[in-house]
Amino acid sequence: MNESVARFAAATAALIATLSLAACGEKEERPGAGEPVAFDLALDYYVNPDHAGIYQAIEGGTFEEAGLDVTPRVPSDPAAPIKLVAADRVDLAISYEPEVLIARDQGLPVVAVAALVPSPLTSLISLPDAGIRDPSDLRGKTLATAGIPYQEAFLGAILRQERIDRSEVKTQNVGLGLLPAVLSGRADAMLGGFRNIEGVDLAERGENPIVLPVDKLGIPTYDELVLVANEDRIADDPEAIRLFIAALERGTQDAVEDPKAATKAVIAAGDGLDPKLTAAEIEATLDLLLPKRGKLPFGYMDAEEWDEFGGFLTDEGVLESRPDASLALTNDLLPGEVPE
């Protein structure tokens, strides 16, 4: 039995025992006893390799073993998931560290409970003919963007670092059309594509893309994707969330150990995904789903890094006030031992 499976089994057994004792005094349905309890998860976007651990845990029965009947829901609007969890209409949502900080700045009662992808995926991506080897080459170029305000702040900071006036770089808000904009030549590069999605797609087409993650361009590191819960739910009923994260750890480890099975699970869940491309994206993604350093627990979020990144967003005018990471995140529901 490997370490992650052992931790999952121990955590599940302890929680089921606790919940069984609690059930003696109440009739409310709880995870871990009887039929699996319905658990709604709002995805951040359409099904993709970032969700490999989730779909492997569903396909492998790991969530069911934890007493959870997990239903992932694809949003009609990428901005919807964090609003749904703030309104307590879903159990968990997948969102982005910047979006969590922005939501809290607006007064929404949301807290990050685990990092799904604990490093930046957002990248500056170009093709060789554009001649963009590093940010100093952006002068006079056209960038395709997704029109996301905090990514505009990324661009401003990158250009200032290179002493390039903002007027010297043209931007096109293409929404979700980042890839076509670069492939057609309408833009010299994209800022906002993911290194493991658009970067891999271009590589699979034989385009030899130059992929520069934003944390390599002077932007403070952050957790690209996080699991987000309603703060009242965390205070009043955290058990199902704790079980979900423990089961997700096991599903992620299973995906890392068997990428073919993970690819099959993601393709089965997605709509019209290309098998060859998805397999390549999965290969580029799986190691990114694990903690960045040493023996940190699965899902660990570094409060000091959140404070630094929150300070950056405040300095750039994205946030009105500097956030307190101790309120924006909690590692208390993670399955492993959290360093002090």
Domain of residue 142, CATH code: 3.40.190.10
Of 188, 216, 244, the last residue of a domain is 216
232: left (phi over 0), alpha (psi -120 to 50) or beta: alpha
- Statement to judge: residues 279 and 206 lie in one domain: no
Q: Do residue 136 and residue 43 come from a single domain? A: no
Same domain membership, residue 109 and residue 231: yes
Q: Are residues 144 and 261 in the same domain?
A: no
Q: Give the 3-state secondary structure of 194-214.
A: ECCCHHHHHHHCCCCCEEEEH
Whether 336 is in a domain gets the answer no
* Residue 144 structural domain: 122-216
**One domain for residues 169 and 194:** yes
pLDDT digits (tens, 9 = 90+) for 247-295: 999 999 999 999 999 999 999 999 999 999 999 999 999 999 988 777 8
- Which is nearest to 63 in space by CA: 249, 256, 330, 278? 249
Report pLDDT digits (tens) over 68-86. Answer: 999 999 998 878 999 999 9
**Domain match, 10 and 113 both:** yes
pLDDT bucket at 13, cuts 50 / 70 / 90: very low
283 and 147 housed in the same domain: no
Backbone φ, ψ for residue 165 (5° rounding) = -65, 140
Cβ 217 vs Cβ 158: under 8 Å? yes
Number of domains in the chain: 2
pTM score? 0.89
Let me know whether 257 and 312 are in one domain: yes
My answer on whether 115 and 229 are in the same domain is yes
What are the pLDDT digits (tens) for 144-183?
Answer: 999 999 999 999 999 999 999 999 999 999 998 999 999 9
C-beta of residue 33 within 8 angstroms of C-beta of residue 20: yes
- Give the pLDDT band of residue 339 (cuts 50, 70, 90): confident
- 339 within domain boundaries: no
Task: Check whether residue 8 and residue 111 sit in a common domain.
Answer: yes
Same domain, 210 and 247: no
